[in-house]
Chains A and B, each alone.
Chain A
Amino acid sequence: MDYTKTIQELILILIAASITNNFVLTYFLGICPFIGVSNKVESSIGLGIATTFVMTLAATVTWLIYHYVLVPYNLVFLQYVTFIIVIASLVQFVEMFIRKVSPPLYKALGIFLPLITTNCAILGLTLFMVLRNYTFLESIVFGLGAGVGFTLALVVMAGIREELEFADVPEPLKGAGITLILAGMLALAFMGFGGIISG
């Protein structure tokens, strides 16, 4: 077993998922909270952390279920139903757990947790994980990286939108329009990172 090679691959997955193939800006996953929530930097950091947490957990749990339950028992056609149930219950469980263990953390993250179930980034993550045949360790790192990337995009966007309040936006573009155009510019900027790991 070549450990340095494995670690190198894991780091590559982490960087790819968080920056060069950013979930929001290249796969269009998690756009709803991206447009809806990203008004304040503070709340987007909260949502970002909560999402990263759930993503890492979801990648772990769905990998185990997919490879130890669905594949051996020939139930792959139940994949979507299973994954969405796992994610929904995971979010519920995390919410209860945090409330019990750390009330301050719950206070900070609590309102964001229910929103996460319908975040397509999480289901997208689990689907990509299966499509790309990641190993167990790779899946966890992939989940973490995707979460970090989501947080990054969300926070950058929130920062821009805070400034935007003082800008003179044309009437028809107010709201969703200007946010989407800004996202386009961000996507262009993130394309600049593309060269990092091609070599």
Chain B
Amino acid sequence: MLKDFLKGLWRENPVFVQVLGMCPTLAVTTKAVFGASMGMATTFVVVSSSIVISLIRRFIPEQVRIPMFTVIIATFVTAADYFLKANFYQISKALGPYVPLIVVNCLILGRAEAFASKNGVFRSFLDALGMGLGFTCALVVLGAIREVLGAGTVFGYRVMWDGFSNWIVMILPAGAFLTLGLLVGVFNMVDKKISVEKK
């Protein structure tokens, strides 16, 4: 049971290991707070759609399962989008079309197809929660790194010394690719070290 939850955080981390859901990962992580809100919105969608899909999995005909999953996901994304618009207008505005784009985040459809459509409700819930949190953590880390180097702040608080000149490239698209590429490399290195030590 616990394994279902934990694997999303490290062993099968959606961003660093499976390289899924790249569009939001790269696009919204100019600031840590955007990464956190995108991560939470995605977690909400993946958890609720996994629960629903797992509940009705016996009634979904094999051939039309993908369109069904997509419609269920799109419904929850609409809910999340309207929630953000109503309560956190600034964030919703900053994230722009990337909130509706959660619909096509391969991570969510991937969980629906690979896990929720085959397992019980509680296990699917844990699996989705783990994946969502793993995704959120990755986004926050990426966002924090880019924010520190690109603007000298983390979650809006100034952390760099006064004379620090911002690396503009970090908040540009190129910075997103470079940072994530290096992070994936670092992740692989640490992961390898851990598995060697275990042996």
Binding site for B on A (CB under 8 A): 25-32, 35, 77-81, 84-85, 88, 117-120, 123-124, 127-128, 131, 170-173, 176-185, 187-188, 191
Contact = CB atoms under 8 A, between A and B. Distances in A.
B71 A85 contact: yes
Contact of A172 (B67, B77, B101, B188): B188
17 contacts: A27-B27, A28-B176, A77-B82, A78-B78, A79-B78, A80-B81, A81-B71, A84-B74, A84-B103, A128-B97, A172-B185, A177-B188, A180-B181, A181-B181, A184-B175, A184-B176, A187-B177
Contacts of B26: 28, 31
Interface in B132-170: 169
Interface of B: 19-20, 22-27, 66-67, 70-71, 74-75, 77-78, 81-82, 96-97, 100-101, 103-106, 109, 169, 172-178, 180-182, 184-189, 192
A15 B199 CA distance: 55
A188 B75 CA distance: 37
The SS class assigned to the B binding surface is: helix
A155 B103 CA distance: 26
B23 A124 contact: yes
Given A77-B78, A81-B74, A176-B19, A191 B97 contact: no
B67 A85 contact: yes
Given A81-B75, A123-B100, A127-B97, A184 B177 contact: yes
B74 A184 contact: no
Nearest to B180: A180
Nearest to A29: B23
A177 B23 contact: no
Contacts of B187: 172
Contacts of A176: 19, 181, 184
Contacts of A181: 177-178, 181-182
Contacts of B25: 28
B70 A88 contact: yes
A131 B98 CA distance: 12
Which 6 A-B pairs give the minimum distances between C-beta atoms?
A184-B177, A180-B181, A181-B181, A184-B178, A31-B22, A172-B188
Contacts of A118: 104, 106, 109
A178 B70 CA distance: 31
